[in-house]
Amino acid sequence: MSTITSTNSLAVEDLGSAAQRDRRRRILDATITLAAQGGFDAVQMRGVAEQADVALGTLYRYFPSKIHLLVSALGREFERAEASLKDKPVPGDTASDRVIYVLRKTTRGLQGDPHLTEALTRAFMFADSTVATEIHAVGMQLSTMLTRAMDPERTEPTEDDIAIARVIGDVWLSSLVAWVTGRATANETAEHMERAVRMVLRD
């Protein structure tokens, strides 16, 4: 039997048997459910295990820590968000408009589920280097979404595009943290992000 790739939630290959895929899915489902109900603190390892109908030790075999678990859950949610955006062209006449559209849409999605967003953002911020793989995957997805919005024609983004996307991603993350921790309202967050986008993408 193949081993579980517990440290890489986004690899499609080598996910083990159907039973294992199902356990993994149940665990992530339980995580999202609990996070959506009560945020970071409500995601308790014993509770996740119980709701997913696995033993505590099994949960830790699949995800070596609560942070890995939450970041993996974030990765799966992002995959879905990206997939749902993949085929439709992004509306907007300028790069700024298109990027803002994507950010607005993504942010609104997150802010519609504050507890979930709080849990996932916290986990993301608290992650150490052992979660680097998962974090990197999420970062790449965000970068892809942004560069495609900036330059829908191009298949391969330029180095400049990537640098710009990273800055926007940084602002996005900081804003999200400020919102999650109650230091900024949703409106302030949106305004600040929009302003930053127009600042780096003058068009």
Partner DNA sequence: GCCATAATAGGAACACGTTCCAGTTTGTCC
Partner DNA sequence: GGACAAACTGGAACGTGTTCCTATTATGGC
Q: Which two tokens stand for residue 3?
A: 């081993």
Residue 66 interacts with, from DNA, a copy of itself, none (CB under 5-8 Å by kind): DNA
Q: Which is nearest to 52 in space by CA: 73, 76, 26?
A: 26
- Residue from 26, 125, 141, 151 touching a copy of itself (CB under 8 A): that is 125
Q: Which is nearest to 71 in space by CA: 22, 11, 10, 151?
A: 10
At closest approach, how far in Å is the CB of 72 from DNA?
13
Q: Please identify which residue in the block is written with the tokens 């990206």.
A: 82
Q: Is 24:62 a contact under the CB 8 Å cutoff? A: yes
User: Considering the rule CB under 8 A, would residue 43 count as an interface residue with a copy of itself?
Assistant: no
Q: Which two tokens stand for residue 62?
A: 């699949």
Binding residues (CB under 7 A) for DNA: these are 1, 3-4, 17, 19-20, 23, 41, 43-46, 53-58, 60-62, 64-67
- Residue from 129, 153, 155, 156 touching a copy of itself (CB under 8 A): that is 129
Q: Which of residues 178-197 bind a copy of itself (CB under 8 A)?
A: 181-183, 192, 195-196
For residue 128, give the 3-state DSSP assignment.
coil
Q: Which residues contact 191 (CB under 8 A, 6 or more apart)?
A: none
Q: Which of residues 150-179 bind a copy of itself (CB under 8 A)?
A: 163-164, 166-167, 169-171, 173-175, 177
Residue 141 interacts with, from DNA, a copy of itself, none (CB under 5-8 Å by kind): none
Q: Which two tokens stand for residue 175?
A: 């804003």
Structure letter (DSSP) for residue 131: G
Residue 11 interacts with, from a copy of itself, DNA, none (CB under 5-8 Å by kind): none
Q: Is 56:46 a contact under the CB 8 Å cutoff? A: yes
Provide the binding-site residues for a copy of itself, judged by CB under 8 A. 122, 125-129, 131-132, 135-136, 163-164, 166-167, 169-171, 173-175, 177, 181-183, 192, 195-196, 199-200
